[in-house]
Amino acid sequence: MKLFGTDGVRGLAGEFLDAITVLKLAKAAGIYFRKHSTTKRILVGKDTRRSGYMIENALVSGLTSVGYDVIQIGPMPTPAIAYLTESMRCDAGIMISASHNPFEDNGIKFFDNHGNKLSTNCEENIEKIFFDDEVLKEGTVTGKNIGSSKRIDDVIGRYIVAIKSSFPNDLSLQGMRIVLDCANGAAYKVAPTILDELGADVITLNDKPNGYNINDGCGALYPANVGKIVKEYRADIGIALDGDADRLVVVDEEGEVVDGDKLLGALCTFLKEENTLKGEACVATVMSNKALEDYLNSHDLELLRSSVGDKNVLEQMKERGVNFGGEQSGHIIFSDVAKTGDGLASALQVLALILRKKQKASVALNPFELYPQLLVNLKVSEKKPLEEIDGLEEILEPIRKKGIRDLIRYSGTENKIRLLLEGKDKKEVEESMAVLKGFIEKVLWEKSINYQ
């Protein structure tokens, strides 16, 4: 069984992620981190899911059993855990969250002592320990070596100060009306506080979590709801966060959702104008529209592509000396401000852009037109290597000759194959997708279920 997926360990709470599994995982992680320990402290935060109580207690039991002292800080955004882990000089940080998934799911994300997400190699080492009962037994401590735990409730102020400091001192949100959707998630306290302290007139939605309503018809997955309120209250902009606040979706003053690639393009050129962009490039994923690439090229900027996942984006940013990147889904990374995608830090940069340009959001955040893109997801019974699918290259060759970009990949967490085609001619893209989809269904998964 493989534990780690695209972003930590994630699954149905109480089933895949039951108390025993979490305890074992905590012991394995503790034994791994202990090899390079300096403080013997690990920070643990969570979002607002009911199952967070079970998982948090299991984590504490596992970590203390291998000698770690645990600092519990309660509901806080994922990027806050990354920041506070380094700030409080802990050996590691752990976030309990399944991000944008429904409340039934939960997950565990790990950060090293610098607040960075773990590399694939680190995750593999923890997995190896997890499945080795002898190492787990040997790593268990007794007597005075058993760790302790304590809960600290006042660290919220540290994160608020850090995020506020990323907003230009000469700007104010005074007079700006903002609709904020907290998704009944981890940022339900910090997000309204930050915007309010910077002077905004904040209309806050979904800031009353009850353990079951996180992401439930709200937040970044349902930005249309924010759009309605923006128009109703004549707000300047809408901001929708997901359950752990590491991503955001922006809605302009007309109630229209701003495409993630357009947001990346507008922010990247803005950073260049402000002389704060490093590396003369932006890192995005293979999913980003080619129109973004062409737009950046027209401004003498390069688009670098990584695999899907904000962790992969950040790794390439480090390799190429770039301080800005993200995913079209809303994970945006300003590495000078945060070590991972941070919905609040990104929101403040978007607001700074609008104020600097003295333009409405619908103008400032709409710098180019996207090329037609079609994505189809198909359920599969097995994930057969793409290079072993006979006839696939022959199907793709004429499609590519039309100038259509293709991306075929398997989901990292589900039994799905994702087919993406993109080109300047919408009709050609649709016709090519019909051919490709028909081929996949006929040759491999005749009974598969198609859904968007």
* Residues designated as active site: 99
Q: Could you tell me which of 65, 64, 61, 45 has the C-alpha nearest to residue 107?
A: 45
Dist CA 452 CA 445 (whole Å): 17
Residues 6+ apart with CB under 8 A from 123: 3, 4, 110
CB atoms within 10 A of CB 5: 16
Q: Could you tell me which of 373, 414, 419, 423 has the C-alpha nearest to residue 392?
A: 419
Q: What are phi and psi of 394, to 5 degrees?
A: -65, -35
No. of H helices and E strands in the chain? 15, 19
Dist CA 333 CA 249 (whole Å): 14
Q: What residue has token string 């491999």?
A: 444
Dist CA 21 CA 289 (whole Å): 39
Contact (Cβ atoms closer than 8 angstroms) between residue 55 and residue 16: no
Q: Exposure of 204 by Cβ count < 10 A (0-12 exposed, 13-18 middle, 19+ buried)?
A: middle
Q: What residue has token string 């994702």?
A: 418
